[in-house]
Structure 1
């Protein structure tokens, strides 16, 4: 049985069953997957990864180049220049430095007794956790479910186009697409002006 919490349309993510043997049945698992998919859809809407409203791209994207944008490219650019994909692989330095900082913090705290064996056990667990998070990183676990391969390819084609520059407007938020040659000449004119 599902329950709505406090009238806020928030689903409980578990079923209370009288007999725990029912948790191994197919019907129980199918309802759990339905609830999980519902929660994923709700969270992606909250994170604006899947929006119910469309942004008017003509108010956000200013295309002054000769490139005609596809529908996927237009939707991606309407997300803004602050949109970013999850990382493909974690940074070695960032990962291990964070865990090293944690070890120094734990070492300086008075929560541990002063025995070396207790500190070594804690440090071994932290080292194990650091190795697990870095070496067992699975890219597919961190991929956005609403981000398709076609959208990724559209983003890649925008990035690799040598004839355009994608930048921010001088005022406000948005996306400006300019021809690279025109942009470079205008920047050179601005830089050569001595006044």
Structure 2
């Protein structure tokens, strides 16, 4: 009857509701267990990173962030697709298929060999086995994926930007932003830097001659048993490439000047410079009294300052610090500041040998820019492992002379690389201090 049919229909609906509700409760229980497990293995730092990634402003809501991420100072007008692409930032990776599988596997194996000296042979064998399986699985999965992680318009924008020979796309000096410049302006500004007395144009590359000179001295040290076989082979140079100069626009300054960087990765002196930088760091006796580690350290040091109403805060900037460091003087300061024994601590070198190695690493370094060859006669290269520590040593010497000032001495002097924060009494003559320091060291301090 009709009544029985409706009753049966109601019974079926109730059963369906009961079963689905039962499934929901089961799934909720599983979710709670999974969440509990994740909380036990994932740290709060990981949660913050995930939360930051999930916000995803880059490439999604680029309208509100593009002025911070992309600075177009060229005459070329970017299309919306090109702008969206650049707004994704330097760390964005475009997913693509792996066509050269042998090269991919070779790279995996080369990286795996770096772990061999750090683990037991049985553990290393297991790692290699897992990496081999992962490589094969990754190749299969990536080649099955037909969906790109960028739109068709953005993919086309890659080609148009790459084929545009009138612009240069560069990383900004600060802020990890992207700068689009006219190529002719970029070359002109870089050439203006290369006109400085610290650089000298050459008709040919001096890379081979410098490599042979360095290797010859290292070979002498090896034959004298001054250095071990392992050290000799780790710091000598074979089949090196010449260092390359490029510039990063300073978007926070008027006129967008370039910061010159000479990338020495792969050059004849890179491994030696890296090794020597490590030795200096270990053997350096005293850090500068002005040293600050980061912004938190800065706050910690200035929070106890009183009488703020009677004081003036001022910041200085060293103009082109790395380029203006007198390299031979910096080397002498480093050698003299090391332990005053015949052999430097934790190294087999005496002072004479150590000085010679420093000179081979940073003096008259050849590099190229736009297929033209140069040598850096003075100053240290930003891009060399020795650059930061030699610049810091030189600045430390300058700052130690501040203690000899009889008057107009700043009450606080803190420095992070080439940025200096000072606090003076409001009756002191700040410009006079600036002039005296610059004159004493023939450096260029600028008040900001």
The alignment's TM-score, normalised by the length of structure 1, stands at 0.56
Cα distance per residue 1:48-95 (max 9 Å; x no partner): 376467433123222121211111111121222232223542623222
Q: Which residue of 1 aligns with 2:156?
A: 153
Equivalent in 176, 180, 183 of residue 180 of structure 1: 183
Change (3 A) 1:62 1:132: closer
Equivalent in 162, 182, 190 of residue 193 of structure 2: 190
Once the two structures are TM-superposed, the CA of residue 166 in structure 1 deviates from its matched residue by 0.7
Higher relative contact order (Cα pairs below 8 Å, separated by 6+ residues): 1
Equivalent in 170, 174, 187 of residue 173 of structure 2: 170
Contact preservation (8 Å) 1:169, 1:176: yes
SS of 2:157's equivalent?
helix
Equivalent in 107, 110, 119 of residue 97 of structure 1: 110
| Cα distance in 2 between the residues matched to 1:135 and 1:173 | 32
Equivalent in 109, 112, 133 of residue 129 of structure 1: 133
Q: Which residue of 1 aligns with 2:91?
A: 82
Q: Which residue of 1 aligns with 2:142?
A: 138
What is the RMSD of the two structures over their aligned residues, measured on CA atoms?
4.0
Change (3 A) 1:123 1:148: closer
Q: Which residue of 1 aligns with 2:326?
A: none
Contact preservation (8 Å) 1:95, 1:134: no
- Stretch of structure 1 that moved more, 166-175 or 88-97: 88-97
Contact preservation (8 Å) 1:99, 1:130: no
| Cα distance in 1 between the residues matched to 2:60 and 2:140 | 32
Contact preservation (8 Å) 1:168, 1:174: yes
SS of 1:138's equivalent?
helix
| Cα distance in 1 between the residues matched to 2:116 and 2:159 | 40
Equivalent in 107, 116, 121 of residue 107 of structure 1: 121
Which 5+ residue runs of structure 1 have no aligned equivalent? 11-41, 110-118
Contact preservation (8 Å) 2:166, 2:184: yes
Once the two structures are TM-superposed, the CA of residue 131 in structure 1 deviates from its matched residue by 6.8
Q: Which residue of 2 aligns with 1:24?
A: none
Change (3 A) 1:142 1:107: farther
Once the two structures are TM-superposed, the CA of residue 169 in structure 1 deviates from its matched residue by 2.2
The alignment's TM-score, normalised by the length of structure 2, stands at 0.27
Change (3 A) 1:100 1:191: closer
Larger Rg: 2
Change (3 A) 1:98 1:137: farther
Structure 2 matches for 1:29-48, cutoff 5 A? Answer: 46=54, 48=56
Contact preservation (8 Å) 1:92, 1:134: no
